[in-house]
Amino acid sequence: MRKNQSLTGSVDWPLLIVVLLFMAMGIATVYSTAYNDDHPSLFDFSMVYGKQVMWVGVSLFLGILVFLIDSDIYRKFAVPIYGFSITLLVIVLFLPAKNGAHSWLGFGNLGIQPAEFAKIAVAILLARVLSDLNVNQQNIRTVLLTNAILLLPMALILLQNDAGTFIVFTSFLFVMYREGISYDPLILGLVNRIPGIRFKQTWLGTHFIPILFVVIFLSITTLLLSKETITLGFLPGEEFPGFYGLVFFLFIFCLVGYALLRLILSKRDRGRALIIAVIAFVLSTTISGAVNFGFDSLQPHQKVRIELFLGIIDDELADQAKDGEDYNRNRALAAVGSGGLTGRGYKNSMLANTRTGHVPESETDFIFCAYAEEWGFMGSVVLVAMYIFMMLRIVKIAERQRSRFNRVYAYSVAMILFYHCAVNIGMNIELAPVIGIPLPLFSYGGSSMMSFSMMLFILLKLDSQRKDVLN
Amino acid sequence: MKYDGRKYVIITFITLIGIIYAFKLFYMQVVDDSWKLRAQEIAEKRREITPPRAVILDRNGKKVVENKTYYNLMMCEDEIVDLDTAAFGKLIGWTREEIRERFKEIKTEQGKFRNRQTGKMESNYRSFRTYPFLKEMTADEMSTIVPHLEQFPGFREEVSSMRNYPYGNAANILGYLAEANAEEVGPRKFYKNGDYIGRAGVERYYEEEIRGKKGIKYVVLDAVNDKVASFENGKYDTTAKQADPIHLGLDIELQAYGETLMQNKKGAIVAIEPKTGEILTLVSAPTYDPNLLVGKKKIKENYPDLVNDENKPLFPRPLASAYMPGSTFKTIQSLIGMQEGVITENTGIPCNKSVVGCHNHPSAQNVTQAVQMSCNPYFYAVTRRIIHQKKSKNINEDAAIGLGKWAEYMHSFGLGKKLESDLTGISSGVIPDPKYYDKWYGHNNWRFSTIRSISIGQGEVQLTPLQLANVAAIMANRGWYITPHVVKSVGDSGPLERFRKKNYTMVDRKYFDPVVEGMRRCVHEPGGTARRARIPGITMCGKTGTVEDQRELKGGKLLKRPNHSVFICFAPMDDPKIAVAVFIENAGGGGGTWAAPTASLIVEKYLNGEICEQNKPKEQRILDAKLSLWE
């Protein structure tokens, strides 16, 4: 009966509280954004806020269910859960498209997105496979198996035309990295075919994923900023190319990074830290510069294609530019930027609400700008800090697990949240391309609310039972 | 564990993203102000509210120009549901083909602009915006459509205000409005696309006084530019203010009468109140109904016809057309002669027809008789004496000195220079000065005999009917004038400063009496040329003019057309209330035949309010006359 006693006793309260806080703040923001004078009640289920209240209710109910179920079933039934999820992903492909994507499994008026739940299924199966494997023995089979678990749903999701969720699945790569999956077998398999070369290990293969992430992040940021100009409040009239601003920030980051490292490191390592900081700056500037000037030398139609993908321009641009107006992202940026230090105040937004409609999707994918416009820099920074806290808390939870299954699962949750937050908030502040994925526990939407809740409640359940598990 | 160190990579990533995002948020929200401006641009719009233009009243307070409500039939494509074009066409009286054409026109022609992306000119038509489908309809036209509009979702009525002219007269004084052009429209300018601006006449000259003050309403807009709420409860809003009425010196009844008299004739009537310089009537014949040029639709319909009309109704003859003044000019010649001392009041000069042709009359014994009988040789002699005063031994140089002085006198009568009136399109006429002839004949290569036709108001001398009327006013005032103007007062502010100033001529008051007496005799004495201008009970002073219209065509052939008929007058003689000039092109006969009776009818109508029984046949004769080689 120890299990039952631990139902509440060993729950990770900080995580649970922050989850509930996000749900409450999300409802408050959806209410303010979509508020309609004719339907003032928060519980008016004909309005999105009423529905959001309902979805949160359903999600909490699911959470309680999760708590009542023995967490061992996930491990046991990892393969059937994965199989069921893949089946759903296949089924939706044959259903009529909604908003241009075959991602909805409809039940009457309601619908769910199987892709949202596939994340949980993949997390569980990956946890199961990695905990069963002896990863200390790196071989091609390990790499291929783990990647295959990932690639199957990703391929199906790509067929659904849902680029956002597709990208989110790459977050599992970080989990695999943490667990020691190395791409070295693949890289060595290629490199060592060249006569005269026989590496035992490559730095690139071992740290393939973080390197890839940094390169992609830098490239995208460079492209997003390449068209912008930077103006400084204290230097009116002066305009700098966005690239210079990026280089400047890279420099500051390396400097700050080095300064922080100096505080931690012993004297012996300080010299190495300096070298790493310099190399990091030079490398990142080089990559960024190469992308920046490489992009400039592309043909115009190639540029447009890339810009379309990144959401620097979108299809609606052609239409909206005619009015001398700007497109969605610009609207979102204006909403965020106009928030100022303290914001316009709750329910007082000018741009990001459904009444004026200047920012489309202001209750779903662009909800961050609605929040930022109302609460300003103070509120936005608190929200960002809360998300960072949540992720770091989950990493902490992950690291304290005895079972490898639990740890992999926890890291999966942390990294999925990380992707969602980084991309969603990033696209509101021109640091990420416009990819339609929701802000976890905050954006309006049943599927994402339910899937994130289940994901987190499973984690809380696993964590609360961590002491029961031996391996 | 072997890979435990890697958790720091992940922690670093998460933390780094947090820091970067916090930095970026700080930059966007606190440092960089441009997004705040952008947000304001997007959401807060200044809505300008245009007040109706000022009403224009005549000297008796009658509304000459007012504002009338018109209706537009608006359409919004997104709201249109299954349009039954046949039924809709029946309602508005169009064929299906016309309706389809109109839709196409709206879509392709609406607000063209250059697309930044493609560099091509494109229409900024949006299916969610509302556009006028039918414009500028009257209440009557609209009333038949409105009850049925419910069947056609996407269509609705909209009210707009436009000019209306209850009298349909004085088109050339009042002018007309047209949509402001690309140069007049701008974000910082008063006018926005579709605003109307005065294009001629009073509407143009007093544009700033008439247009009023625009109201500004700050509103918060939604994405399709529909108003959502007023900004800060209207704290910064201002209300639109219609300008004060414009009071004209014009007598609209007299104007209407003058226009009727001038029907089927070309020419001009100008009547001035001598004491004030206020223009009582300014007829340009032929004229047009100003209601023809109200609104885009009517302008498009009627303007080409008016422009192409061979009789040129849009041309403001009283202001812009310069004619030879003929014998009316002799009044000024005698004044200058006396002032210069080359003749006295009692100088007699024989009527020597060998110099210039004249009609049969006894030789003039003094200035009064010369004016009364309009003796051509007399004024040849007077003008020669003015020009050749023997101030130089060289006869040509002497002529230049004399003509220079003469031209100065003429300018002091408001001739040969633009009268600084408040009307647009004013011509200066021609008073030749030495430079003028130097250009023609070479420096000092001319003398009086070369230019003698100016003595009797022919040749190079040209006056506008407005100047001619002003000469009549100078005669009435015995030596001064107030620049003729149409607007008596803007609101209650009274006339403009420059319309309060008396302009004195270079001729002394005392020399006017004999000339004025001559003018009286013209009308009232036997042997006067203007007997047809008599009005029972009113002492009128007038001077006729008969202007030959002949010019050499290519090949040396002489084109001789009927004479122009000219008349200037004022009345009553001792307390002048009205000064009139009438010019009728190619009327035939003399100044007394057509112009004099026409002027007298104007005077009689103004002073007595009606035409007496005795003069009714005269009125009928003028009304019936079809003169001026009328097509």
User: Which stretches within A95-139 are classed as H helix?
Assistant: 114-132
Question: What residues of chain A lie within 8 A of the CB of B28, using their CB?
Answer: 333, 336-337, 429
Q: Which residue in A has a C-alpha nearest to residue B17's C-alpha?
A: A422
Are A53 and A140 in a shared domain? no
Is the ipTM higher than 0.90? The answer is: no
Are A35 and A79 in a shared domain? no
Query: Per residue in A409-457, pLDDT tens?
Result: 999 999 999 999 999 999 888 888 777 789 999 999 888 999 999 999 9
Say whether pLDDT at A54 is over 90. yes
Residue type at A387 in one-letter notation? Y
- Facing B117 at nearest CB: one of A318, A398, A415: A318
Are A427 and A358 in a shared domain? yes
Calpha distance A107→A109 (Å, rounded): 6
Confidence at residue B537, expressed as pLDDT on a 0 to 100 scale: 86
CA distance B96 to chain A (A): 30
Contact B29 A340 (CB under 8 A): yes
More confident residue, A468 or A27: A27
| Average pLDDT of span A309-320 | 50
Contact B36 A338 (CB under 8 A): yes
Question: What residues of chain B lie within 8 A of the CB of A423, using their CB?
Answer: none
Are A95 and A169 in a shared domain? yes
Contact B7 A384 (CB under 8 A): no
Contact B29 A335 (CB under 8 A): no
Phi and psi at residue A206, in whole multiples of 5°? -65, -45
Domain that holds residue A438: 1-69+346-444+463-471
Would you state the structure tokens that stand for residue A184, as one six-digit string?
A: 């070295």
Calpha distance A381→A392 (Å, rounded): 16
Interface list for A 274-293 with B (CB within 8 A)? none
Are A25 and A94 in a shared domain? no
Of A65-69, A112-116, B202-206, the range with the lowest mean pLDDT is A112-116
Mean pLDDT of chain B: 83
CA distance A335 to chain B (A): 6
Are A171 and A123 in a shared domain? yes
Which residues of B84-199 form beta strands (DSSP E)? 112-114, 121-123, 130-137, 155-164, 177-179, 196-198
Say whether pLDDT at B591 is over 90. no
Contact A372 B26 (CB under 8 A): no
Question: What residues of chain A lie within 8 A of the CB of B2, using their CB?
Answer: 136, 180
Of A8-17, B145-154, B271-280, the range with the lowest mean pLDDT is B145-154
Residue type at A99 in one-letter notation? N
Question: What residues of chain B lie within 8 A of the CB of A421, using their CB?
Answer: 17
Are A370 and A471 in a shared domain? yes
Confidence at residue B18, expressed as pLDDT on a 0 to 100 scale: 94
Q: Which residue in B has a C-alpha nearest to residue A249's C-alpha?
A: B20
Confidence at residue A387, expressed as pLDDT on a 0 to 100 scale: 96
Query: Per residue in B38-91, pLDDT tens?
Result: 777 666 666 667 788 888 999 888 898 888 887 878 887 777 777 788 888 888
* DSSP symbol at B233: G
Q: Is A176 on the interface with B (CB under 8 A)?
A: no
Confidence at residue B624, expressed as pLDDT on a 0 to 100 scale: 85
| Average pLDDT of span A227-255 | 75
Q: Flag whether A256 is in a domain.
A: no
Q: How many helices (H) and strands (E) would you count in chain A?
A: 20, 4
Phi and psi at residue B519, in whole multiples of 5°? -65, -35
Residue of A68, A42, A71 lying closest to A56 (CA atoms): A42
Are A64 and A78 in a shared domain? no
Are A47 and A81 in a shared domain? no
Q: How confident is the model at residue B216 (pLDDT cuts 50, 70, 90)?
A: confident
More confident residue, B601 or A9: B601
Which one of B26, B42, B233 would you mutate to disrupt binding with A, by most A Cβ within 10 Å of its Cβ? B42
Are A423 and A382 in a shared domain? yes
Q: Which residue in A has a C-alpha nearest to residue B114's C-alpha?
A: A322
Say whether pLDDT at B265 is over 50. yes
| Average pLDDT of span A335-353 | 84
Are A79 and A176 in a shared domain? yes
Q: Flag whether A273 is in a domain.
A: no
- Facing A321 at nearest CB: one of B3, B18, B116: B116
Q: Are strands B246-248 and B56-57 parallel, antiparallel or unpaired?
A: parallel
CA distance A187 to chain B (A): 20
Q: Flag whether A253 is in a domain.
A: no
Q: Is B117 on the interface with A (CB under 8 A)?
A: yes
Q: Flag whether A340 is in a domain.
A: no
Are A470 and A356 in a shared domain? yes
Of B79-88, B284-293, B406-415, the range with the lowest mean pLDDT is B79-88
Contact B30 A399 (CB under 8 A): no
Say whether pLDDT at A175 is over 80. yes
Q: Is B127 on the interface with A (CB under 8 A)?
A: no
Query: Per residue in B480-495, pLDDT tens?
Result: 999 999 998 888 888 8
The most distant pair of C-alpha atoms in chain B lies apart, rounded to whole Å, by 142
Mean pLDDT of chain A: 82
Say whether pLDDT at A331 is over 60. yes
Q: Is B121 on the interface with A (CB under 8 A)?
A: no
Query: Per residue in B448-478, pLDDT tens?
Result: 878 888 888 888 888 999 999 999 999 999 9
Q: Flag whether A189 is in a domain.
A: no
Q: Which of A134, A150, A181 is the last residue of a domain?
A: A181
Q: Flag whether A358 is in a domain.
A: yes
Q: Are strands B44-49 and B227-230 parallel, antiparallel or unpaired?
A: unpaired
Confidence at residue A85, expressed as pLDDT on a 0 to 100 scale: 93
Q: Is A149 on the interface with B (CB under 8 A)?
A: no
**Percentage of chain B with pLDDT > 90?**
12
Q: Is A358 on the interface with B (CB under 8 A)?
A: yes
Say whether pLDDT at A323 is over 50. no
**Percentage of chain B with pLDDT > 70?**
90
Contact A337 B35 (CB under 8 A): yes
Q: How confident is the model at residue A316 (pLDDT cuts 50, 70, 90)?
A: very low
Question: What residues of chain A lie within 8 A of the CB of B16, using their CB?
Answer: 253
Confidence at residue B91, expressed as pLDDT on a 0 to 100 scale: 83
Q: Is A334 on the interface with B (CB under 8 A)?
A: yes
Residue of B199, B189, B194, B94 lying closest to B145 (CA atoms): B94
Confidence at residue B223, expressed as pLDDT on a 0 to 100 scale: 54
Phi and psi at residue A6, in whole multiples of 5°? -80, 0
For helices A446-464 and A404-428, give the axis angle rounded to 10 degrees: 150
Interface list for B 187-226 with A (CB within 8 A)? 220-224
Query: Per residue in B239-251, pLDDT tens?
Result: 778 888 889 988 9
Say whether pLDDT at A318 is over 60. no
Q: Which of A144, A160, A181 is the last residue of a domain?
A: A181
Confidence at residue B474, expressed as pLDDT on a 0 to 100 scale: 92
Q: Is B16 on the interface with A (CB under 8 A)?
A: yes
Count of domains observed in chain A: 2
Of A134-143, B33-42, B211-220, B566-575, the range with the lowest mean pLDDT is A134-143
Question: What residues of chain B lie within 8 A of the CB of A334, using their CB?
Answer: 35, 38-39, 42
Contact B31 A233 (CB under 8 A): yes
Q: Flag whether A268 is in a domain.
A: no
How much is the pTM? Answer: 0.57
Tally A–B CB contacts below 8 A: 152
Contact B3 A339 (CB under 8 A): no
Long-range contacts of B519-527 (CB under 8 A, 24+ apart): B519/B331, B519/B371, B519/B475, B519/B543, B519/B569, B520/B573, B521/B368, B521/B369, B521/B371, B521/B372, B522/B371, B522/B372, B522/B374, B523/B569, B523/B596, B525/B372, B527/B361, B527/B372, B527/B373
Q: Which of A181, A215, A233 is the last residue of a domain?
A: A181
Say whether pLDDT at B138 is over 90. no
Residue type at A236 in one-letter notation? P
Is A134 exposed, middle or buried, given 0-12, 13-18 or 19+ CB atoms closer than 10 A? exposed
For helices A404-428 and A328-338, give the axis angle rounded to 10 degrees: 90
More confident residue, A8 or B191: B191
Calpha distance B422→B209 (Å, rounded): 13
| Average pLDDT of span B364-371 | 86
| Average pLDDT of span A203-216 | 82
- Facing A178 at nearest CB: one of B6, B34, B224: B6
- Facing B3 at nearest CB: one of A180, A335, A337: A180
Confidence at residue A146, expressed as pLDDT on a 0 to 100 scale: 87
Say whether pLDDT at A100 is over 60. no
Say whether pLDDT at B401 is over 70. yes
Say whether pLDDT at B343 is over 70. yes
Please report, for residues A4, B51, B196, B581, the alpha-carbon distance to residue B172 in angstroms, rounded to integers and kept in the order given.
Answer: 100, 24, 18, 17
Please report, for residues A307, A440, B13, B19, B22, the alpha-carbon distance to residue A247 in angstroms, rounded to integers and kept in the order given.
Answer: 21, 31, 19, 16, 18
Q: Flag whether A18 is in a domain.
A: yes
